[in-house]
A and B are shown apart, each in its own frame.
Chain A
């Protein structure tokens, strides 16, 4: 099918407003009267609040009210941004209170001050006196699982879930193997570092309902969780999402919204704003799960996998949040990437006293891909089987059914990605040069990694998208979606879909900056790389419906003068035409005027669609990396790095490239630099700020190369598969594999810092 708008790098509708500062984010929206909230955080890592003295804090000028756990509902609620589950077996763990007496991590939220200025609130917080009963605390899963460990949540034994998944006969598979390889690895706690911190304000509206304006990826889910947290009908809440400065999954979770509403409730419905500092976002919103893996695989002498046994232990931190679903996802990802006839995937999710781990770009996939792709590197080095060949031999194929997800994939282009990658990256040239120029203090190396991902969360959760289209009086089209624009450009892409499908110029589509649960169609939000795929299906359905209605109406209004039938009509560039000769019947604007104002037959044309998606399509991709390592200081310079993606048809190439570049930069930080650390003596986070947490700057990131293998996926609404999360999945293992290639010694756990390299070199660790 020929496309006029899809596949074009159109300018996103909000670009000018954003670069000129006219776009309003949550913190920009003025209120007549605004109070400020500040959280009082525990200064121990595990224990109980025995007593709290707020008398001095109340004396601080400007303080309006102080909330303690006594002042908020005694209701435990879940926070994960998952669709609600009607099946009680799959509901999210409800282990949160708005404020808590049970301290489960350093900085847990034990009280909150409301004041007429942020400073007054902060001063008051510093004057709250707390007495604690302290327990032993656990920063690692090993400690939390040891015999006799204190339960962080009563009755949990510190385990959220322990599951085994798989296929085939593991023992038989290992028996068939000519050789067996084993390895272990660990990944760190990292943080999203989205540009806009969590911020929300709440107030009582004119209709006496509670409005929460929040920087959230999931407005409709947020409304539901507010209902749950207060034990009130969900309709009593309205959530409004303005422009968002990024989320990466950190805002696919409910963090500050219930407290913002509770604070407003405590002051008679006045607006109260909660605006977290960067330090708070780092340590007390959500982080990525640190997961450690034990992998054992059997191979035939030709390198075919006969069996794989993976044991994954995930550090979920102090609260369940997204919980077990993150590490559990790794099983299905493994079988989406590699054909494994006999497979066992055990995963355990463990409570500890570190930051609650939730959703973060990739949702457990960067971890399992790191484990798998460094493992494949080891297999290649031990056996001498070429690393491309080893992988290609074992990749899944088109029409394979995933034995864990029970979904069949309809497109799979990893072999083409390697081929394109080798050409764009000049792999062979680089390989030759490096092999011919060995020695010295500065050594170069090359590395690769491949990944698989998913488009949306089906069949793990239900998937639903909504779109409402209105033909305006002049022929422009108002588009309303429940899917959430959080900076990624989804609104631009949906606008392209509508324009392309209806047959009008892109500029005729009017999108929304705001998602308002009172107005926007239902959609669960921005996560799981689902929107272009899942919400895109709803947008397409609505666009086709509106187009049908337009043609019907045009036929109706023009049938007295025209002989043409509806089947012979189309819309091209905003004109209704006769298909057989391309002649224009009328402009869409003229038709629209008739629909609005024809005295006898006028009726406005709209389409309002809710669409359930029961499909999935796996996107794939690879990273190739070239590094130079300084053997005397351990410093790694990334010389070049390339991502090649199989995400089906690319809807907007420039936005797609931007998304890939961002993910690659995040992957670079994940592989080489980033880790949230804790003080072993106190359990306090050590580097919850952008100085000590070594997220790369623009100067640390080399030019990023991006390429696509564009083969239409038959399931995607426009041949597209997901792209949001995939770019971050493979850079870290490719970089680590390149470092190994350069040094010929073994460094395993990320981030591969200069210190780890120097330590490995001084111990001369063998691969």
Chain B
């Protein structure tokens, strides 16, 4: 059962922001696949709230290119929309793979990419791919618009750099971060559907002849927030794709990770996945297959 105090349906960003500013008890709700679960579980901060619905704000819909050729994803684009979108499939198909791995069809039809990111969970399937693409989060609040790199947006488990009267409006992927890159996302979970990642790994790789020109490796659940394996990325530049080199890259990834023991999985097991998954993702992205 859901103890909810009120519901306000915003039709513009301004309406939403104004309401959020005025009402201290307000809480944004998009698809509801996170908020309503927390309300049902009576989690502190989610009970008896005035919910602000944002799904009908047209400014937050859709996926498009901006004038510079960057990709703009509206924060209320659903997982299904992102998964099937032509722009996404053509340029950043790993994001399509990532959001296509979330929950089941019903959840993907209501859950939004903005909610996935704003929820602040390290396990969010879209987040590691967005980290690998150095995504920029567009925010609007009473003080106007601002932009923040996704790395700075994540502050800690469940914590993001979004004030309670601000709205995350878009996710921007800059052209320089996808043009010429190939990417892949691997979700390791116990089940093939309806599951949360034990570890998620997303990579973007750009080749320079037969050598790695640039490599970005991002993880979910390898730390309290999604992370980048910057040490491995640095080392990988200029390397050829050989089994030995991939092993080295995988091993190096552990330097940035801070996997821990939990009842869901041991640290040692997560570390094995941290080593193994980027190698596979790189091979698949480059068409080496699995």
Contact = CB atoms under 8 A, between A and B. Distances in A.
Q: Which range contains the number of B residues in contact with the other chain?
A: 20 to 34
B196 interface: yes
A700 B192 contact: yes
B194 interface: yes
A122 B191 contact: no
Contacts of A635: 188
Best-surrounded residue of B196, B264, B265, B269 (most CB of chain A within 10 A): B269
Contacts of A679: 263
A752 to B, nearest CB: 12
A11 interface: no
Interface string B3-29: 100000000000000000000000000
Contact of B269 (A673, A696, A754): A754
B269 A759 contact: yes
Q: SS class of chain A's interface: helix, strand, loop or mixed?
A: loop
Contact of B194 (A633, A691, A754, A755): A691
B235 interface: no
B42 interface: yes
B188 A700 contact: no
A700 B190 CA distance: 9
A700 B191 CA distance: 6
A118 B40 CA distance: 12
Interface string B164-206: 0000000000000000000000001011111110000000000
B195 A119 contact: no
A268 B218 CA distance: 62
A699 B265 contact: no
A632 interface: yes
A673 B268 CA distance: 19
Best-surrounded residue of B42, B193, B272 (most CB of chain A within 10 A): B272
Given A123-B3, A686-B263, A758 B191 contact: no
B1 A755 contact: no
A692 interface: yes
Given A633-B276, A758-B269, A119 B191 contact: no
B88 interface: no
Contacts of B266: 755, 759
A697 interface: yes
Interface residues of A, number: 29
Nearest to B266: A755
Interface string B72-106: 00000000000000000000000000000000100
Interface string A105-119: 000000000000111
A677 interface: yes
B65 interface: no
Contacts of A119: 1-3
B195 A122 contact: no
Nearest to A672: B190
B272 A694 contact: no
Contacts of A677: 263
A632 B1 contact: no
A753 interface: yes
A633 B265 CA distance: 12
A238 to B, nearest CB: 30
Contacts of B272: 632-634, 758, 762
B268 A699 contact: no
Contacts of A632: 272, 276
A755 B269 contact: yes
Interface string A674-710: 0001010000001100111010110110000000000
B192 A697 contact: yes
A471 to B, nearest CB: 49
Contacts of B239: none
A699 B190 contact: no
Interface in A724-767: 753-755, 758-759, 762
B162 interface: no
Given A119-B2, A123-B3, A700-B191, A633 B196 contact: no
A754 B197 CA distance: 13
A697 B194 contact: yes
A126 interface: yes
Contacts of B192: 697, 699-700
Contacts of A692: 264
Contact of B191 (A633, A634, A686, A696): A696
Interface in B250-283: 263-266, 268-269, 272-273, 276-277
A427 to B, nearest CB: 27
Contacts of A123: 3
Contact of A699 (B188, B193, B269): B193
Contacts of B193: 697, 699-700
B190 A694 contact: yes
Nearest to B196: A691
A739 to B, nearest CB: 15
Contacts of A755: 265-266, 269
Nearest to B194: A697
Given A755-B265, A755-B266, A126 B195 contact: no
Nearest to B279: A632
A759 B272 CA distance: 10
A694 B195 contact: yes
Given A694-B191, A699-B192, A753-B190, A122 B1 contact: yes
A753 B188 CA distance: 13
Interface in A307-323: none
A467 to B, nearest CB: 42
B268 A633 contact: no
A311 B89 CA distance: 59
B195 A691 contact: yes
Nearest to B280: A632
A63 to B, nearest CB: 14
Nearest to B1: A119
A762 B268 CA distance: 10
A34 B183 CA distance: 56
Contacts of A686: 263
Contacts of A634: 269, 272
Given A632-B276, A691-B196, A758-B269, A126 B42 contact: yes
Interface string A616-648: 000000000000000011110000000000000
Interface string A1-16: 0000000000000000
Nearest to A635: B188
Nearest to B188: A633
B284 to A, nearest CB: 14
A758 B266 CA distance: 11
A665 to B, nearest CB: 13
A636 to B, nearest CB: 10
A56 to B, nearest CB: 15
A690 B268 CA distance: 25
B134 to A, nearest CB: 28
A633 B264 contact: no
A118 B1 contact: yes
Contacts of B194: 690-691, 697
B200 to A, nearest CB: 13
Contact of B268 (A117, A694, A697, A759): A759
5 contacts: A119-B2, A122-B3, A632-B276, A690-B194, A759-B269
Given A118-B1, A633-B272, A686-B263, 10 more contacts: A117-B1, A633-B188, A633-B276, A673-B191, A691-B196, A696-B191, A697-B191, A697-B194, A700-B192, A762-B268
Interface of A: 117-119, 122-123, 126, 632-635, 673, 677, 679, 686-687, 690-692, 694, 696-697, 699-700, 753-755, 758-759, 762
Interface of B: 1-3, 42, 104, 188, 190-196, 263-266, 268-269, 272-273, 276-277
Per CB-CB distance, the 10 closest pairs between chain A and chain B, nearest first, are: A699-B192, A119-B1, A755-B269, A694-B190, A632-B276, A699-B193, A697-B193, A118-B1, A122-B1, A697-B194
